[in-house]
Amino acid sequence: MRSIWNGAISFGLVSIPIKLVNATENHSVHFRQIHLADGGRIRYRKVCELDEEEVSGGEIGKAYEDADGTMIPITDEDLAQLPLPTAKTIEIVAFVPADEIDPLQLDTAYYLSANGVPAAKPYTLLREALKRSNKVAVAKFALRGRERLGMLRVVDDVIAMHGLLWPDEIRAPEGVAPESDVTVRDAELDLADALMDTLGEVDMDSLHDDYREAVEELIAAKASGEAVEPSESEEPGGGKVIDLIAALESSVRAAKKSRGEGEGAAEETGTEGDMADVHPIKKKAAKKSTAARPKPTPKETGAKKSTASGSSSAGKTAQTQRKTASASAKKQSGRSTTKSTARSTAKSTAGTATRSTAKSTAKSGGKTSAKSTKKTASAPRKRASA
């Protein structure tokens, strides 16, 4: 790479001869102005306002225009006589943490190359010192007729220098922030954090200028005489945000989908592209559903209460009573009507006996009296026989 400036780094009493090389380049596509009628190129010519004649570069000098319009000529000799200690020197004035440099000050970047074999040792010393201290060097240097501010840092195994704007060249952000008071909810911050986590990191080398590539393809197509068809471009979204929460949720789903996580996002939201609708449960509907249920029969009620008692002795007593009542009914009458009456009477009596037995069992701590059970069971047998 071609150097644009030769000088030295002043590092205390150490002087490091270096060459300044541009670290960046502009890949923008530049256009020329032409005459639309015949395609002729439009050029700007330097013409003197007094005699209206074109002048060459050798006849052009510098001047400062005063407030009243007076031109004060300044020659290169005048500038050369000014005391400029950084004319050929990058003078390091301090070492500071990198986060103390405001990114707004960053300007053009350069690489500093060791100029010659003797410069290799002090160059490496400064590079390793910057690495170990995790600091950057703030320096002054002169380039293209003016003194500038710079920041030296290590990039791979090379010392790089960023031109910095002077602090008084940074404008205060007055009147830029929103004037009205805006409150951000925690739910919105949580969604913003989720979006940041979903987007994650990016390989900076993978980023490129899509517009410049499209312009180059357009130029190549026109140069070869091919017809250029307008490409379909997505319409930009409106600037009005109706629901910030919905916009953040949609952004999270879109980011997950672009990273191949669309299925997981669809499972979480219920749909792949649309948000799930949430409807409140109406109380009236709940009452109707409850009323529509069929009422339990007396048999089911007796069975549930018998089950709730959970007493093994009461269950055995009820079973014995049902068997005894059924056998007695068969002996007394052979008619079907008498049988059904006896069965229903035995079941009803058994249910009543079970409930009373369960209650007495619960009160007495689970101990059932055999005598009480026999007396209770004899009553239904007499009634069944009658």
Rounded Cα distance between 166 and 169, Å, is 5
Tokens of 5: 């400036």
Would you say 109 and 152 are in contact if contact means Cβ atoms under 8 Å apart? Answer: no
pLDDT score, position 270: 40
Phi/psi at 351 (5° precision): -65, -40
pTM of the model: 0.55
- CA-to-CA separations, 348 to 124, 238, 322, 343, in angstroms, rounded: 106, 76, 10, 9
Q: What is the pLDDT along the chain (386 residues), one digit of tens a residue?
A: 788 889 899 888 888 999 999 998 888 899 999 999 999 999 989 999 999 999 998 999 999 999 999 999 998 888 777 777 777 889 999 999 999 999 999 999 999 999 999 999 999 999 999 999 999 999 999 887 788 999 999 999 999 999 999 999 999 988 888 888 888 889 889 888 888 888 878 788 888 888 888 888 888 888 888 887 777 665 555 555 557 778 778 888 887 787 776 544 444 444 343 444 444 444 444 444 444 454 454 444 444 444 444 444 444 455 555 655 555 544 444 444 444 444 544 444 444 444 544 444 444 444 444 444 444 444 444 444 43
